Amino acid sequence: MDKEATREAKTAYLLVAPSLIVIGVIALFPILRSLWMSFYAIDLTLPQLGRPFVGLANYLEIFTDSRFWAALWNTTYFTVISVTLELVLGLAIAMLVNRPFAGRGLLRASVLIPWAIPTVVSAQMWRWIFNDKAGILGSLLQNFKILSEPYPWLASVETARLCIIAADVWKTTPFMVLLLLAGLQTISPEYYEAAMVDGATPFRRFLHVTLPLLKPIILVALLFRTLDAFRIFDLVYVLTGGAFKTETLSVLTSDVTFKCSDYGQGSALAVVMFCCIMVISFIFIKVLGAKVEE
Amino acid sequence: MKKKRTPGFVFIVLLVLGTLSGIRGEKLLASSARHITLTFSAGHDPSGIHEALIRRFEETHPDIKIRVLELPNSTDGQHERYVTALAAEDSSLDVIAADIIWPPEFASAGWLLPLDPFLPPSEQKKFIDGATQGVRYKGKLYAVPWFCNAGLLFYRKDLLEKEGLSPPRTWDDLLKAAGLLQRKYKIDGLVFQAARYEGLVCDFLEYLWGNGGDVFDKDGNITIDRPEAIEALQFLTDLIHKHRLTARAVTSYQEQESFIAFTQGHAAFLRSWPYVYMLSFGKDSRVAGKVGMVPMVYNKGKSAGTLGAWNLAISRFSKHPKESWEFIRFLSSHESQVLATLKGRTPSLKSVYGDPRIKKEAPYLSVFYRTLAAGKPRPVTPLYPKISIILQIQVHRAITREISPEAALKEAARKIRNLYNKYKLPVGT
């Protein structure tokens, strides 16, 4: 029996070995390598300076730079607002398309279109929608006499971040719809029937049947979207380039790493972002009890 | 399960076999034909100029084949690719089409061959001065200018003529003319590139130079926070907020947006690059034939447009430097440049501007020549990309009135000083 068990265990290890190796090479190695690089001064364009060990200097420089704190705040702000909006809209749309009606299949498929367009492409599209002179948003509002003159959507602190949030909500709500719809379909209609027999209003049915049963899916969807939103890069890069208080951690990291070729400090920023994401995941999984395994 | 895996496995085996046979095939071809293949890397060229020139070169040089490595369109994207490839000492790059701001950086890293042995000083003088100045590092030439650009001021010829105004030369002229046209025709006085990106630095430097300022002086001092620089940034800020001569969204404008605003007839003046002139005749343009151009306006200094140029350089890791030079010499020759100029490029050789074919076909080039001759390169230092980011952020903060021009430039000077300290380099080098 014991021998049998160890042999089985050995086979099991052998079978998972390829995936472990793949994970090690493509996930673990780059993370450890970034961590290692973050303790060195590495500038690819200045090889004559060598790669001296600088300890925590890269981190010190990050934490004393107001640009980093602004980026952290902007990223958090953006993540909270857009994920909240996406959840509310996503849930509403998922519940709508969960009902049987003519053309439901077509609608479900078309909901996915924004999500299927590469973000850089849709970001360029939004950049022209928000253009003050040639943009459709401005000209619609002017036609309806809501605006009397062109408004600089992408050139003011008040609206630039809203533009980015709008473009993100437009793009990723379909993802929420898809996940939540899958969850809604697992809820047995019997629960609703029972609730109706008890005389529950639609609102109470939503509050006491739909929400509790959907909670595990909602948490997983929120976790995915939060992690994704926290890394936002393309929309900001194309729409504002990080100006008007829209610079996020990813945009800052890319600036430092690629435009300034400062790979040491860029790695340190990447490590800081990694830690933020760990914290977010921890909160979702341990504190809120999101079950990602299922 | 088993059944599902088989096609995938077969596919992978075929893929591996295919790759192996491909490698073998290529080697066989190379050895039998006995020619050298050079890699020419550049951004996408929709004009077809590269293709035409390469065909000519291969006809006259049967022993050299040119492989074109097409890089991303954005300059930043190309820069990133070069930095990672050259830092890894990749020998597959030979001739590189380099933006004017890269050669000092790449040369200090030891990635480019000095070209003085190939091109003696007497030959170097035949190129636009500012352009060769920008690609020099520690006295040596690291690239040959190919095509040049300098910032210019475009204006609505029709409106200026109607008002009996002559094209502006100074800041004050611009204020008066733009203000008058804005009030009278209900359009913006002036548009330019003021989003937070490289283009903003190009635009700001022109006001800085035009007011007698600079980022560094000759003695290695940082002069970006001197009064003449603060005055220049104040003027730029005032154009937007005090005189309100620009579109309100100008602080989010890159080349595209400012071009659309001007060619759709929404603006009286536009600061941009030479390509605008040719494209203003396009079928979507509302100002075809109504566009004039003059060198950039100035105040206490001299008129100077920021130089943008594409240059040809040889990778230090190239296995064929001699053949690479042969190719560069061909591309930058008078004849090649005449051909390219007739298709819309702006040449780097002074002699091309005097060529009778050019004078006949492209008379507008005389204005370009004047601006190029007075044009200035951005600070020539390997740290330029880092300095540019500092200027982009601080200048943008000032023109969006987050902080005062003085505070912005003091901060920029402090950061630039820290940068030189961090990399232990003498300031300005």
DSSP B132-160: HHHTEETTEE--EEEEEEE-EEEEEHHHH
Length of chain A: 294
Instruction: CATH number of the domain at A254, please.
Output: 1.10.3720.10
Any B CB within 8 A of A27 CB: no
Answer whether residue B409 shows pLDDT above 90: yes
Pick the residue with more confidence: B171 or B16? B171
Burial class of B286 by CB neighbour count within 10 A (0 to 12, 13 to 18, 19+): exposed
pLDDT digits (tens, 9 = 90+) for B237-279: 999 999 999 999 999 999 999 999 999 999 999 999 999 998 9
* ipTM of predicted complex: 0.88
The answer to whether position B18 is within a domain reads no
Residues B233 and B355 in one domain: no
Say if the Cβ atoms of A152 and B249 lie within 8 Å: yes
Residues B100 and B204 in one domain: no
The answer to whether position A202 is within a domain reads yes
Mean residue pLDDT across chain B:
91
Residues of chain B positioned with their CB less than 8 A from the CB of A259: 76, 79, 385, 389
Give the pLDDT of residue B20: 46
Torsion of CA A169, A172, A173, A177, to 10 degrees: -170
Give the pLDDT of residue B299: 97
Residues B205 and B267 in one domain: yes
The closest CB to that of A255, out of B110, B251, B389, belongs to B389
The answer to whether position B428 is within a domain reads no
Any B CB within 8 A of A237 CB: no
Residues B62 and B145 in one domain: yes
The answer to whether position A89 is within a domain reads yes
Residues B324 and B285 in one domain: no
Residues B84 and B162 in one domain: no
Candidates B348, B335, B337, B343; CA nearest to B362 is B343
Instruction: CATH number of the domain at B190, please.
Output: 3.40.190.10
Q: What is the mean pLDDT of residues B383-387?
A: 94
Residues B392 and B288 in one domain: yes
The answer to whether position B23 is within a domain reads no
Q: How does residue A292 score in pLDDT terms, banded at 50, 70 and 90? A: low
Interface test with B, best of A132, A236, A237, A257 (most B CBs within 10 A): A132
Answer whether residue B395 shows pLDDT above 70: yes
Q: How far apart are alpha carbons B328 and B158 in whole angstroms?
A: 42
Give the pLDDT of residue B47: 85
Give the pLDDT of residue B25: 45
Cross-strand pairs, B193: none
Q: Within the 189-228 window of chain A, which residues sit less than 8 Å (CB to CB) from chain B?
A: none
The answer to whether position B3 is within a domain reads no
Please give the residue range of the domain that contains residue A203.
66-287
pLDDT digits (tens, 9 = 90+) for B138-177: 999 999 999 999 999 999 999 999 999 999 999 999 999 9
Q: How does residue A293 score in pLDDT terms, banded at 50, 70 and 90? A: low
The percentage of residues in chain B with a pLDDT greater than 70, rounded to a whole number, is 92
Answer whether residue A1 shows pLDDT above 60: no
Residues of chain B positioned with their CB less than 8 A from the CB of A150: 247-249
Residues B131 and B167 in one domain: no
Q: Beta strands of B44-133 (E only): which ranges? A: 64-71, 95-99
CB proximity list for B114: less than 8 A, separation 6 or greater:
B107, B140, B141, B142
Residues B159 and B243 in one domain: yes
Q: Which long-range contacts (CB under 8 A, 24 or more apart) does B421-426 make?
A: B423/A43, B423/A46, B423/A49, B423/B383, B424/A49, B425/B383, B426/B220
Q: What is the mean pLDDT of residues B25-49?
A: 75
Are A180 and A219 a contacting pair, CB within 8 Å?
A: no
Task: Give backbone dihedrals phi and psi of A262, rounded to 5 degrees, phi first.
Answer: -90, 85
The answer to whether position B5 is within a domain reads no
The answer to whether position A12 is within a domain reads no
The answer to whether position B203 is within a domain reads yes
Residues B163 and B301 in one domain: yes
The answer to whether position B161 is within a domain reads yes
Looking at the 3D structure of chain A, how many domains does it have? 1
Looking at the 3D structure of chain B, how many domains does it have? 2
Q: How does residue A99 score in pLDDT terms, banded at 50, 70 and 90? A: confident
Any A CB within 8 A of B260 CB: yes
The closest CB to that of A242, out of B196, B264, B423, belongs to B196
Give the pLDDT of residue B30: 47
Any A CB within 8 A of B252 CB: yes
Give the pLDDT of residue A289: 78
Please give the residue range of the domain that contains residue B210.
152-305+383-422
Give the pLDDT of residue B72: 87
Residue B222 DSSP code: B
The answer to whether position A79 is within a domain reads yes
Residues B297 and B339 in one domain: no
The answer to whether position A140 is within a domain reads yes
The answer to whether position B75 is within a domain reads yes
Place of tokens 């293709």: B51
Q: How far apart are alpha carbons B54 and A76 in whole angstroms?
A: 51
The answer to whether position A21 is within a domain reads no
Q: How far apart are alpha carbons A228 and B392 in whole angstroms?
A: 28
Say if the Cβ atoms of B248 and A152 lie within 8 Å: yes
Residues of chain B positioned with their CB less than 8 A from the CB of A157: 400
Residues B297 and B315 in one domain: no
Q: Within the 40-69 window of chain A, which residues sit less than 8 Å (CB to CB) from chain B?
A: 43-49, 67
